[in-house]
Structure 1
């Protein structure tokens, strides 16, 4: 094939690749493959032609674009955890505070009701679970319930159940947030009753050191999941100056981002519960360390760090405004 005919046959496609580069990975791969084939053909039959130089540059530019996109995809996750999620948490801090207050209210309410009603624990957890726990307390191993079962199977079972509850809490936010409030209140009450069961037998401090090896991340994630549900419901009920559908779309987007952000917390919490909480007798320093580290992380990442980011952002904007002035 003559070079003029080769150029005429493919010129439109080459120009189109330049003016409107492919966006999807599949389309980009297809176009890049065709371009490499054209370059190989040109090198074979027109080795000294400017066509080879042109195709080589276009192929090089596309290769760099592909590489850059891959690099951006990996750095996108880092950006999400470092900036986007904390800023979302700060943006919806009032909903987060509401979730926390609601959870603690029912925790305290259930705790004090359980002091007066000894049957409340059995109603929540079942007679067999409570009887087994009381038996463990008498034997001097109050948290022996965490030593039962296969660690890996326990991890997977707990993780799946908690994620299911969290997504139910989020999606049910569309119903004015009422089911979300119920689930959050129920979990708060359950923790309060569970706590009182151990406090009544003199294991109040141990309860926090042992159960919160996994409980810190787990409960934090449940509260944040409820926050995502309230964000979803609030965006539909109170659209503000936006159209209701636009406000709901934005609320749903924020809620989904928050839910994706807390998934690792459920995975790690379940992993701790399945493999490390059971070690509270054998390696007490490890379980105490994990509880302390988890509490410090939650306080820093969900409270302190978002505020620092916002202040830093405001400071940057103010400095930028001063420079432009």
Structure 2
């Protein structure tokens, strides 16, 4: 009789674990960050702990749930105590993991931009009028005049630095949000705008390369261009995430998938706003120093490149692998 009771208890515990294990692992590997989700997850975990203590007081499951509930409580207490930690969590964990989740979409956005960059470069190489059609005669004539004077990038030296910074920043952020919001139309306008931007950069590059300043273009323009172009590509990704979530909901209801895609897209857009701010600062105040402080502009270009590769590619992958390994270890323990 006791043996039957013990067997039934073990089977009940196994079913209890099977029913809730995925949720526990998810809460441990990727804890909720919004207050409502965090409170809901904590309440569910406490209920599970109470159930486990009632029927399996000395089991590993009870011990695990006790530790999980304690960790979640500390997270809630810490979030209430320090609102600044929310920003740290966003930049250190939430945004990189969201980017990693959509790395394939980011790759698509990058490839699309690069393909049209190359098309713009080589087409304008065959037809010099392409640059004038894109930028207008005034801009092209002024650039050529600067090249003939021996100051090819003099276009960046004009205007008030502070006003240039603010103007560029506002314009770029506005354009980026258009990229994102356009994704709601199945991503087609986003695709067009990203392709157009890639072609424009390629044509701009060829304008200098045709006069023997191809290498200088990368060293000077990418003082701000590395961050600016990266943010544009990422904003294109956010638009594609929005469009893809509606077109391809998978096993979820379309409205749920769209809501999740919109949430991820908004996170990404919030995340790249500071990138636009810094890029505009570099363009308005630093790029113009390429003649007087070339060591500084070269350092900023190199540092920006390292940051982009690390934060948008390497770090999200490392963070995802770390969380996956941690979840796998926990699963084996259970």
TM-score if structure 1 supplies the norm length? 0.78
Partner residue, 2:153:
143
Q: Deviations over 1:90-118 (max 9, x none)?
A: 10111101100000000000100000101
Residue among 178, 186, 193 paired with 1:183:
193
Residue among 243, 248, 253 paired with 1:238:
248
User: 2:183 touches 2:239 (CA, 8 Å); kept in 1?
Assistant: yes
Partner residue, 2:281:
271
Is 1:196 aligned to 2:196, yes or no?
Answer: no
User: 2:79 touches 2:86 (CA, 8 Å); kept in 1?
Assistant: no
Q: 1:70 Cα deviation (Å)?
A: 5.2
Distance 1:181 1:175 in 2: 10
Pairs within 5 Å for 1:211-250: 211-250=221-260
Partner residue, 2:290:
280
Partner residue, 2:319:
309
Q: 1:265 Cα deviation (Å)?
A: 0.3
Is 1:290 aligned to 2:300, yes or no?
Answer: yes
Q: Which runs of 5+ in 1 are unaligned?
A: 1-22, 25-65
Q: 1:323 Cα deviation (Å)?
A: 2.9
Pairs within 5 Å for 1:22-33: none
Q: Deviations over 1:182-215 (max 9, x none)?
A: 1101110000000001111111111001000000
Distance 2:145 2:329 in 1: 64
Distance 1:67 1:87 in 2: 23
Partner residue, 1:38:
none
Distance 1:72 1:319 in 2: 30
Is 1:164 aligned to 2:174, yes or no?
Answer: yes
Is 1:258 aligned to 2:268, yes or no?
Answer: yes
CA RMSD, 1 decimal = 1.6
SS at match of 2:82: helix
Is 1:128 aligned to 2:138, yes or no?
Answer: yes
Q: Which runs of 5+ in 2 are unaligned?
A: 1-34, 37-75
- Hey, which bits of structure 1, 4+ residues long, moved more than 4 A? 66-70
Distance 1:92 1:189 in 2: 24
Distance 2:324 2:78 in 1: 30
Distance 2:123 2:227 in 1: 26
Pairs within 5 Å for 1:3-152: 69=79, 71-152=81-162
Q: Deviations over 1:31-50 (max 9, x none)?
A: xxxxxxxxxxxxxxxxxxxx
User: 2:79 touches 2:85 (CA, 8 Å); kept in 1?
Assistant: no
